[in-house]
Amino acid sequence: MTTKYNKGDARAWALESLTGCCGCIQPTFTSSLESLNEEAIRFDVRREIELGMSGVLIISECGTTPAEFAEFTRIVIDEAGDQLVTVLQASEPTLQSTVAAAVMGAEAGVDLVMPSYPLYFNPTSHDDVFGFTKRVADESGIGMIVFAMDQWNFGRLHAAGFPMFLLEQMVDEIPQVVAIKNEVGGPGVGGIAAVFERFNEEVVVTDPLEFNAPAWIANYGMRFMGTSNYEWMGPVVPKMLALLSDPATWNEGMDLYWRVAPARRAHSTVCTPLVANSGLVPRMHWKYQGWLNGFNGGPIRQPHMRISAAQMAVLRNAAVTSGLDVTGDDDALFYSGRNPR
């Protein structure tokens, strides 16, 4: 069990301590794809710390078996130590396997869990969604980030996808809920603003989309961002959050915001449509973007969307234009990674 807070104190701990940026760490496999590459994983955890991240999401959607995911989780927790908050992504095929992953994470010492809802979870009411979420929270016993977005296909139950009354029920009746990852009710930010307005003093509310950060920092004092692949901007997002959070350095923060606009546009051009059209995260693209900024890169398992040379060129050129410290290594080296085995 986590040592960062005592049982029953997760929400109070989060409101006081959950700050900064929570990136995403993916497993790396050996070249044969038969086992985890521990050296590469530890390399990436250290890189997260170097870039100023305050936490990492331990990604479960890269082809690990349950045993490998448990080992991956152990490695990340061990390397992170007290320097990073660790969040387990419990993205599994069934309720039972989601619960099992969350329990595994709790036993391994992960700080928080963020469950996803399975592809074949087809609730007929919001009570089903609440019941699923509460079961994961009750079984794991650790703090939970509720991922409130519309891609779970809950929009057929309510236009918001994750309506306010459901979030209120979760916050009121599930004490393990410490934060809301707030991507409610697109297009537009009306739903996101409503969640900040209602819950900002009760639990940690975060919009992970860095391009919205100035609005929420200025109007609601957002001080935690995540979880997202901030690795694609190197150290920029943690720096930007810190600068925008201080009125004395707001203009400097906005200068940084605009400096990386080319990289932001390239990310929106290449990656955003992949998510919108498939409902899946382009993990290989994320892995490449991290590799450009000093992360290991290297193999993950299928099935995943393939990244093309043309997409690599768009992402690389925009990162260079934005002044990011992009590797000069040939893209061919991405496939083996910086610590090949």
Same domain as 177, residue 244: no
- C-alpha 212/C-alpha 147 separation (Å) is 17
How distant is the alpha carbon of residue 192 from its chain centre?
Answer: 17
| 239-261: burial string, b at 16+ Cβ within 10 Å, e else | bbbbbbbeeeeeeebeebbeebe
Same domain, 282 and 215: no
Prediction pTM value: 0.97
Residues contacting 162, CB < 8 A, separation 6+: 148, 149, 150, 152, 154, 184, 185
Residue 314 lies in a domain: yes
CA atoms of 299 and 276, how far apart (whole Å)? 24
Q: State which residues form the domain around 258.
A: 234-341
* Residue 32 domain flag: no
Do 44 and 294 meet the contact criterion of CB atoms below 8 Å apart?
Answer: no
Structure tokens, 272: 């955003």
Query: Do residues 113 and 246 both lie within one domain?
Result: no
Q: Which of 211, 228, 245 is the last residue of a domain?
A: 228
- CB neighbourhood size of 96 (10 A): 11
In degrees, to the nearest 5, what angle opens at C-alpha 323 toward C-alphas 57 and 62? 25
Do 144 and 246 lie in one domain? The reply is: no
Q: What does residue 292 show for φ and ψ, rounded to 5 degrees?
A: -55, -30
Looking at residue 187, what is its pLDDT? 86
Q: Which residue has the tokens 């449509």?
A: 273
Query: Does the residue 100 lie in any domain?
Result: yes
CA–CA separation, 159 and 67 (whole Å):
38
Contacts of 288 (CB under 8 A, 6+ apart): 297, 307, 312, 315, 331, 334
CA gap 241, 222 in Å, rounded? 9
Q: What is the pLDDT of residue 277?
A: 87
Asked whether residue 338 falls in the same domain as residue 269, the answer is yes
pLDDT in tens, the chain (341 residues): 556 999 899 999 999 999 999 999 999 999 999 999 999 999 999 999 999 999 999 999 999 999 999 999 999 999 999 999 999 999 999 999 999 999 999 999 999 999 999 999 999 999 999 999 999 999 999 999 999 998 899 999 999 999 999 999 999 999 999 999 999 988 889 999 999 999 998 999 999 999 999 999 999 999 999 999 999 999 999 999 999 999 999 999 999 999 999 999 999 999 999 998 888 899 999 999 999 999 999 999 998 999 999 999 999 999 999 999 999 999 999 999 999 99
The answer to whether the Cα torsion of 88, 266, 268, 189 is positive or negative is: positive
Q: Are 222 and 273 in a shared domain? A: no
74-105 pLDDT, tens digit per residue, is 999 999 999 999 999 999 999 999 999 999 99
Contacts of 297 (CB under 8 A, 6+ apart): 28, 287, 288, 290, 291, 333, 334, 335, 336, 337, 338
Of residues 223, 279, 281, 234, the one with CA closest to residue 256: 234
Same domain for 183 and 148: yes
Considering the domain architecture, whether residues 148 and 173 belong to the same structural domain is answered as yes
Residues 245-274: tens digit of each pLDDT: 999 999 999 999 999 999 999 999 999 999
